[in-house]
Amino acid sequence: MNKTNLAESLPPVFQEKSKLEPKKTIIQLDDVNIHYGSFLAVKHASMEIYEHEVTAFIGPSGCGKSTVLRSINRMNDLIRGATLDGRVLFNGEDLYAKDVDPVLIRRRIGMVFQKPNPFPKSIYENIAWGARVNGYKGDYDELVETSLRSAALWDEVKDKLKQNALRLSGGQQQRLCIARTIAVQPEVILMDEPASALDPIATSRIEELILELKMDYTIVIVTHNMGQASRVSDYTAFFMVDENRTGYLQEYEKTEQLFLNPVHKKTEEYISGKFG
Amino acid sequence: MQSSITFGSEETRLSMMERRRKVGVVWQAVFLFSTSLAILFLILLLFSVIDSTFGFAAIRYEMKPSELMDGKSQLSEFSRQQLEETAKTHLSSGILRRVEYEKPIADRTDKDLIALIEQYVLQPSVLRTWGLWASLTKQGEINEYLFDQGDAVLTFKSWLTIDFLFADQSANPLYAGIRTALLGSLWIILITFVFAFPIGVGSAIYLEEYAKPNRLTRLLQLNIFNLSAVPSIIYGLLGLAVFVRAMEAFTSGSLFTGVSDTTANGRTILSGGLTLGLLVLPIIIINTQEALKAVPDSLRMSSYGIGATKWQTIWGQVLPVSIDRILTGTILALSRALGETAPLVVIGASTFISVDPSGIFSKFTTLPIQIYQWSARPQGAYRNVAGAAIIALLILLMVLNSSAIILRDKLSKKKRMEA
């Protein structure tokens, strides 16, 4: 069966997606190896991440998908002993070049974490603080409103902006974290299992939000949830772990391709739930 | 499938449970006993302090009001003119000159004059004092003593009065007060805070947030822990060598004023405050580090994740959530400094001083030193004065500690509610 036939046989949602043309590369990993001390955590990862697409990283525990994600905005720098060789290019620029300031990268490539971690401040301050430390000079009220609207949280919190963010529910907190990330106007948003600590309803709201956000942002999401990867992502990278517990990129494809017609046996076994 | 764990027969199981229950009861009793013992000692301490602060005192006057003015048995019965006249004729010329210099007799109030005449003309002296317990239980013995003494007057005295707080030192226990010592203590604490708080918090931030965990950092950390356990007298010796001797020009103020206008020779409030600052520095550092460690890393990560710098993260996120613990620990460290005696004695704090400290280059004494000095005096009445000073010190410490608690509650409440 050739690929054209396969595409026609796919459910409508996938057909629509597969019509999209390959887009501009925004992030490129070029033979990336990441060590924690002397332990090789990820080896030879090379891939291109496309602008305004949602890219999902899936794979069993310990396969290095989160490590790779954190290497994209140099959050790994904060982990003691973490080193990277190879190149990570962002709009063609090497993020690991000597003269690059990781702080500036993190504004352009924001991050949302697994556990919702709003600042122990008011909802308003949660949004405004990030903008302020990045030197935002515009109208803060407006920024707070647009950021909260983009994160589909405005209607729920507009009357209690002065309330402490920790009093929100888990799902609201996570959307606030997304709003906070949006407020500094990044180009890419990295999400490390953003819904794994949430209930199913909150999870589906996050997923809807991701689909809306991809109009304006490039999103890379790590997830353990195969259904989530297939629902929200355009591209999926499947990471595996070898006998030395070193992670590597096994397969990277358009999502429907990877899920319906995986090339590697391991991929097929993983997505069909044989291990993981 | 049969379980591999067996509990034996019903009988042995029951006896085992009974034994287990008994062991629990015994331990509970042991813990209750320890707690009771601690409370008992606390009560004993409070009792002994209160016992010496209140009670009867047998006082003998050198002169009676009737000897000054016929027919008057009380100074309060004197007219204004009689009071002024008595003061002018009966005060010794030295005292009269000093009194007139401070405030002319004519401008003083009646109450003021009565106090003056009582102190310098009637000249009361304490013959003997009784504690509160003895005052209540040994009436017979007290009366017998009074009878033997003949002209002694018995008064029930609270040694802790408002006047006691505002009076300076005196050779007469009836007129001794703690103003000088209290001011000395407050000055010392101020210097200690100004010196130790910024340096302590700063070092803790560096060690906790910036320093890489290499061998040097570990060595430093170990030394800080050891320093916090060094006996305070050692700090006194260090302060004597460094602040009093080596840095005399600085600590005596002669570096700034050209000449030192006191005879302190470096044994000043500044030296004392810096010495106590060194003493509490390791405590403040360790406490601040603990406060910073308690801030979850996820908070730092989320701050870095939106492009904040390290300093912005520390200042804008980490410190606001840990400041309550930092301040509480600092106040507790300061109250330890407030009670320290040994290092200040070593650096040469004055034990008898009646001049108020006027600044950081003054000689000083502090409350604990004052208490120590009074309790070592041969006259029994000074023991009562020391008791009153102990109560004043305890109240001061309690105020400090409860302000720490109030501050912490207030700040953490604010953190929770966030207006």
Give me the domains of chain A, ranges plus CATH numbers: 24-119+188-271 (3.40.50.300)
Query: B301, A117: Cβ pair inside 8 Å?
Result: yes
* pLDDT tier at A3, thresholds 50, 70, 90: very low
Residue of B nearest to A127 (CA): B306
Give the pLDDT of residue A15: 47
CA distance A204 to B52: 74
CA distance B362 to B254: 12
Express each pLDDT in A140-153 by its tens digit: 999 999 999 999 89
A248 touches chain B (CB under 8 A): no
Provide the residue type at A86 as one letter: G
Chain B residues close to A69, C-beta within 8 Å: none
Asked if pLDDT for residue B5 goes beyond 80, the answer is no
- Phi first, then psi, for residue B264 (nearest 5°) are -70, -30
Give the pLDDT of residue A276: 66
Residue of B nearest to A73 (CA): B305
**Whole-number percent of chain B with pLDDT over 90:** 40
Give the pLDDT of residue B68: 76
Give the pLDDT of residue B414: 65
Residue of B nearest to A179 (CA): B306
CA distance A29 to B13: 66
Chain A residues close to B209, C-beta within 8 Å: none
B417 touches chain A (CB under 8 A): yes
Lowest mean pLDDT among A7-11, A163-167, B123-127, B170-174: A7-11
Average pLDDT, chain B: 86
Give the pLDDT of residue B221: 93
| Site of tokens 């580090």 | B289
Give the pLDDT of residue A179: 94
- In this structure, is the dihedral angle defined by the CA atoms of residues B101, B104, B108 and B113, taken in order, positive or negative? positive
Interface probe with B: pick from A74, A76, A90, A106, most Cβ of B within 10 Å:
A106
Lowest mean pLDDT among A117-131, B4-18, B43-57: B4-18
Interface probe with A: pick from B299, B306, B314, B318, most Cβ of A within 10 Å:
B306
A174 touches chain B (CB under 8 A): no
B418 touches chain A (CB under 8 A): yes
* pLDDT tier at B139, thresholds 50, 70, 90: confident
Asked if pLDDT for residue A200 goes beyond 80, the answer is yes
CA distance B292 to B323: 9
Other Cβ atoms less than 10 A from the Cβ of B27: the count is 10
User: Which residue, B234, B186, B169, is CA-closest to B370?
Assistant: B169
What b-and-e string marks burial along A111-144, b requiring 16 or more CB atoms within 10 Å of the CB? bbbbbbbbbbbbbbbbbbbbbbbbeeeeebeebb
CA distance A247 to A175: 30
CATH class of B179-417: mainly alpha
How many pairs of residues across A and B have Cβ atoms under 8 Å apart?
83
A78 touches chain B (CB under 8 A): yes
- What stretch(es) of chain B map to CATH 1.10.3720.10? 179-417
Q: Helices in chain A by DSSP H: which ranges?
A: 3-9, 12-18, 65-72, 102-108, 123-133, 140-150, 154-157, 170-183, 200-213, 226-232, 255-260, 265-271
Query: A133, B416: Cβ pair inside 8 Å?
Result: no
Rounded (5°) CA angle B32-B36-B41: 155
Nearest CB to B309: which of A78, A103, A163?
A103
Residue B361: burial class (beta carbons within 10 Å; 0-12, 13-18, 19+)? buried
More confident residue, B117 or B415: B117
CA distance B162 to B10: 73
Nearest CB to B307: which of A113, A134, A166?
A134
The pTM score is: 0.82
Beta strand residue intervals within A52-119, DSSP E: 54-58, 82-90, 93-94, 109-112
Give the pLDDT of residue B264: 64
What would the two tokens of residue A237 be? 């990278």
Q: Which of residues 81-140 of A touch B (CB under 8 A)?
A: 103-108, 110-113, 115, 117-122, 125, 129-130, 133-134
CA distance B134 to B55: 8
Chain A residues close to B317, C-beta within 8 Å: 119
Largest alpha-carbon pair distance within chain B?
A: 112
Give the closest-approach CA distance of A199 to chain B in angstroms: 21
DSSP secondary structure string for all residues of B372-386: HHHHTSSSTHHHHHH
A13 touches chain B (CB under 8 A): no
Express each pLDDT in B70-92 by its tens digit: 777 777 778 888 888 887 888 88
B140 touches chain A (CB under 8 A): no
A180 touches chain B (CB under 8 A): yes
Give the pLDDT of residue B259: 62
CA distance B49 to B384: 9
Rg from Cα positions in chain B: 30
Query: B306, A107: Cβ pair inside 8 Å?
Result: yes
Give the pLDDT of residue B303: 93
Express each pLDDT in B49-61 by its tens digit: 999 899 888 888 8
Residue of B nearest to A75 (CA): B305
